[in-house]
A and B are shown apart, each in its own frame.
Chain A
């Protein structure tokens, strides 16, 4: 295992947290430690947590502070190697075969017939990219098994070309919403962090950092309300992104002259996006929005 105590000028979790703050991402101790260890040990970082807690944002921020391009691979059911790794440009290969003159030798497995997909790009340019494998829990077991192979030795076999191995281990961030359990072998290969909803104080800071138009009082009121909403049995509890949207929407409405409780009530759709959840909450709104007439 390669141990690098300093990666891109970052030599401790505190350094990473500070750099992330500079990239507009407020990281707590847990994620800063896991992120630093992932960089130093050269292992992929697996981030799990409810939707909207900032898993993808964390990957973007890490790419930002390393000054690298973020390559995102969005997983879906049925995703396979040709969508993740590489594909040959079949129409062009076919055309080249048709156009080739008699006796001419033609290599249809040249680089210019190869379409790079995210994982191959990350493997070929590990020093300039961060690979984000987003929502791995959406892919099926076949893809997870395939990914396991990639993450264990960072090499890819292209039958026509042989095996490509990364010169150095690329920075890989995986995210999962926990809609299904990931294979233990995948978890073992990663440095793991579960991102919980942030503490109220931190969430208020995040809202103000993301949107300069939102006043501190508004941010605190929104954080208080979403904290209560997350304790309700909702199909889709509001994440951090929803809290930011709600604060912004309420601020915008208040600027048009609406009273604060009214502005919060009318912009509730930015935080709660499920009709059944809204129906469940409607009669009890004054509990979440202080000052709202019952």
Chain B
């Protein structure tokens, strides 16, 4: 029989549980480390408890504010103040990242702040899609891993032909023939699918498409080996983590809760520059297939967009710009910004429907290493 927990430890054990309730992933072994850390540090003050919690429960830097608020609420009894991040000034492009990990078990309720919950509700209202679109997405998801362009990776595997000799396999083969080398086994670099980076315009002019695009993004994140998704309008938001949830409704509700600039204005140039200014984000574009789902109706300065696309194209494998306006056969990019960036784009295609976008992505040419 397991002895009951001493009353003094209960306060500490219940903290990881509180974190889990609020969507921060904590493993049981981390709880054990947390208790050991407290034992080691004294604790002489609450500050020690906080330090022990940070070191052992390892919140992501972007979750730190939430973590601290929960810590204060739990140990000090303070009430967590809602963040004012949703009221950022319009002059500055703000960057928002979805929190590192929210491994909430299926069926468990997502305990979001009021603000996020409202956004989620709005989206769930909009998410009624006809069945045939689901079938399109299912087929697309199955075909995507093979259809992505490939590049030669750095990992090597045994192969019939290749550039380098596989000494380990050759030696083993030689031992079977009393040390006589009958054939040299070879190694070959493995082709890996390129990462895919999806940038989704959620501004007012894209209102008709933004929900469907987010559904498509969920399929891409679920099926491509490496995928990143950002939304932009007047701010840049990373929604990849939310979309990694398997259940679509839950994933979309969470992603929608993160995006604070639905149906607002568009400042594509600023959004892309904000993307490039975070080294971690910029590294997602390296060697990637970049798909921009936007009508390119830029309200900001075209110069910012031109510079950003130029920098992005230096990093990316290719940039494909898919706009719903191209559904019209007579469509020609008329905004100054789009005309200026057109030479940098691998294609300016039709993004009017999910089926069209799927077809475009599947046509990017997988199989051979690029």
Contact = CB atoms under 8 A, between A and B. Distances in A.
Interface of A: 1, 3, 5, 12-13, 29-30, 33-34, 36-38, 40-41, 43, 46, 48, 50-51, 76-78, 80, 88, 90-91, 93-94, 97-98, 100, 108, 140, 142, 177-181, 184, 187-194, 196, 233-237, 276
Nearest to A49: B61
Given A184-B27, A194-B61, 17 more contacts: A1-B32, A29-B51, A30-B54, A33-B52, A41-B33, A41-B36, A43-B33, A78-B156, A91-B167, A94-B174, A97-B178, A177-B279, A179-B280, A181-B100, A191-B56, A233-B273, A233-B277
Nearest to A2: B36
Given A1-B32, A192-B55, A97 B175 contact: yes
Nearest to B169: A90
Given A33-B55, A76-B154, A188 B279 contact: no
Contacts of B156: 78, 80
A184 B56 CA distance: 13
24 contacts: A1-B32, A1-B36, A30-B51, A30-B55, A33-B48, A33-B51, A33-B55, A34-B54, A37-B56, A50-B279, A80-B156, A90-B168, A90-B170, A94-B171, A94-B179, A94-B181, A97-B175, A140-B154, A180-B280, A184-B27, A192-B54, A196-B61, A234-B277, A276-B311
Given A33-B51, A93-B171, A41 B273 contact: no
Contact of A187 (B37, B58, B153): B58
B279 A235 contact: yes
Interface string B12-41: 000000000000010101101100110111
B103 interface: yes
Contacts of A189: 29
Nearest to B42: A12
A190 B52 contact: no
How extensive is the interface on chain B, given as a class? 35 or more
B276 interface: yes
A41 B32 CA distance: 11
Contact of B25 (A76, A184, A193, A234): A184
Contacts of B64: 194
B101 interface: yes
Contacts of B40: 3, 5, 36-37, 40-41
A179 B288 CA distance: 14
Given A48-B61, A80-B155, A179-B283, A233 B55 contact: no
B12 to A, nearest CB: 15
Interface in B53-74: 54-56, 58, 61, 64
B174 A97 contact: yes
Contacts of B56: 37, 191-192
B110 interface: no
Given A97-B174, A235-B279, A188 B274 contact: no
A98 B52 CA distance: 59
Contacts of A236: 279
A187 B283 CA distance: 21
A72 to B, nearest CB: 19
B171 A90 contact: yes
B123 interface: no
A16 to B, nearest CB: 12
A236 B276 CA distance: 10
Given A34-B55, A37-B52, A37-B55, A78 B32 contact: no
Contacts of B154: 76-78, 140
Contacts of A184: 25, 27, 101, 103
Output the residue of B37, B41, B54 with the most chain A CB within 10 A. B37
Contacts of A192: 54-56, 58
A113 to B, nearest CB: 10
Nearest to A188: B27
Closest 8 CB pairs between A and B? Answer: A78-B154, A233-B277, A192-B58, A97-B179, A90-B167, A33-B51, A34-B55, A179-B283
A34 B167 CA distance: 43
Contacts of B282: 235
Given A33-B51, A191-B33, A233-B277, A3 B39 contact: yes
Contacts of A100: 179
Contacts of B55: 30, 33-34, 37-38, 191-193
Interface in B126-172: 153-156, 167-168, 170-171
B103 A178 contact: no
A184 B57 CA distance: 11
A236 B278 CA distance: 9
Given A3-B39, A88-B168, A77 B153 contact: yes
Contact of B153 (A5, A46, A78, A190): A78
Nearest to B57: A192
Contacts of A12: 41
Interface string B218-245: 0000000000000000000000000000
Given A3-B36, A40-B40, A140-B155, A188 B171 contact: no
Given A34-B55, A90-B171, A188-B29, A78 B155 contact: yes
A179 to B, nearest CB: 4
A145 to B, nearest CB: 13
Contacts of B181: 94
Contacts of B279: 50-51, 177, 179, 235-237
A90 B48 CA distance: 53
B305 to A, nearest CB: 15
A40 B56 CA distance: 12
B157 to A, nearest CB: 10
Contacts of B280: 177-180
A190 B58 contact: yes
Nearest to A79: B154
Given A41-B37, A41-B40, A142 B155 contact: yes
